[in-house]
């Protein structure tokens, strides 16, 4: 069953349309990746799904309900969160306070406590840094904190925008291993990522985006061997 469906989505900023009819879906339990060059519309797609960019035409359906242009807080309540590009942490709050902010819509205190323990198990470094200001963390630690904060809302669907951006290769591997564990634990992932090779290696299915349109789609294991993808996105001749 499809957890998320985008049908003919058009969206943009003011009078400038960025997305020109996006069709995309993510089934429950999948990792789906969206790859493409800078300016292709990948971030706009995630933000349109989350209600941060207004959709002018088309629909977004999540868990069987149309959520087109819903307020973002209601989308979070329904079970979707985003890890934004650039992390967007509350730099003057501690790591623990950032995680608590991720759970601000929840009333189940015991569940929040258990989920805090779960993210500390996923990211032992965050347990060590729990009382430290988020703004003083390293880049890799900040990315871990941003993912952990999103998980505190207990999402069924996690959207990730460039989680490897600016990280050293070893940290990138750690982040991708954690994403695979999250998926194995039952979270569906929609991943926007410029490291196309790693994204395709862990994804079930992939979409290739160019100037606001989906130009290719299919099983990730097939697209990674497609000559056009290898030439344009994997740096191979």
- Is there a single domain that holds both residue 178 and residue 133? no
Per-residue model confidence as pLDDT tens digits over 11-20? 999 899 999 9
Provide the pLDDT confidence category of residue 151 given band limits of 50, 70 and 90. Answer: very high
pLDDT at position 90 is 84
> Domain boundary at 131, 154, 177, which?
154
- Is there a single domain that holds both residue 166 and residue 218? yes
pLDDT at position 237 is 62
In a domain, 84, yes or no: no
At 10 the three-state DSSP class reads strand
What do you get for the CA distance between the two ends of the chain, in Å? Answer: 38
> Domain boundary at 154, 176, 202, which?
154
Domain carrying residue 107: 89-154
- pLDDT reading at 194 higher than 90: no
- Is there a single domain that holds both residue 108 and residue 214? no
pLDDT at position 139 is 86
> Domain boundary at 103, 135, 154, which?
154
Average confidence (pLDDT) over 128-154: 92
The CATH code of the domain that includes 74 is 3.40.50.300
- Is there a single domain that holds both residue 132 and residue 46? no
- pLDDT reading at 107 higher than 90: no
User: β-pairing, 80-83 with 157-161?
Assistant: parallel
Provide the pLDDT confidence category of residue 234 given band limits of 50, 70 and 90. Answer: confident
- pLDDT reading at 3 higher than 80: yes
- Is there a single domain that holds both residue 100 and residue 65? no
* Number of compact structural domains in the chain: 2
Phi, psi of 14 (to 5 degrees): 60, -125
**CA–CA gap between residue 45 and residue 60 (Å, rounded):** 11
Cα–Cα distances (Å) from 49 to 27, 52, 60, 211, 235, in that order, read: 15, 8, 7, 18, 30
The region, left, alpha or beta by phi > 0 then psi within -120 to 50, assigned to residue 166 is left
At 30 the three-state DSSP class reads coil
Per-residue model confidence as pLDDT tens digits over 59-106? 999 999 999 999 999 999 999 999 988 778 988 999 999 999 999 888
List the structure tokens of 157. Answer: 């669907």
Cα–Cα distances (Å) from 138 to 84, 103, 162, in that order, read: 17, 23, 17
Average pLDDT score over the chain: 93
**CA–CA gap between residue 109 and residue 125 (Å, rounded):** 23
């Amino acid at each position: 069953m499809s957890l998320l469906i985008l049908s003919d989505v058009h969206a943009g900023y003011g009078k400038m349309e960025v997305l020109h009819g996006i069709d995309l879906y993510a089934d429950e339990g999948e990792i789906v990746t969206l790859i493409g060059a800078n300016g292709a519309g990948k971030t706009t797609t995630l933000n349109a799904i989350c209600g941060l960019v207004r959709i002018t035409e088309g629909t977004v359906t999540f868990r069987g309900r149309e959520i087109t242009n819903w307020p973002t807080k209601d989308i979070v309540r329904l079970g979707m969160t985003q890890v934004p590009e650039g992390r967007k942490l509350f730099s003057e709050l501690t790591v623990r306070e950032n995680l608590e902010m991720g759970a601000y819509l929840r009333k189940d205190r015991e569940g929040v406590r258990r989920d805090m323990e779960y993210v500390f198990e996923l990211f032992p470094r965050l347990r060590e840094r729990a009382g430290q200001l988020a703004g003083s963390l390293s880049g890799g630690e900040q990315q871990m904190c941003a993912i952990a904060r999103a998980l505190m809302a207990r999402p069924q669907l996690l959207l990730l925008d460039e989680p490897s951006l600016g990280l050293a290769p070893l940290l990138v591997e750690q982040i991708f291993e954690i994403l695979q564990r999250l998926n194995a634990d039952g979270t569906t992932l929609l991943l926007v990522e410029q490291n196309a090779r790693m994204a395709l290696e862990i994804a079930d299915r992939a979409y290739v985006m160019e100037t606001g349109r989906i130009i290719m789609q299919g099983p990730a294991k097939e697209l990674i061997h497609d000559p056009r993808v290898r030439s344009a996105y994997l740096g191979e001749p």
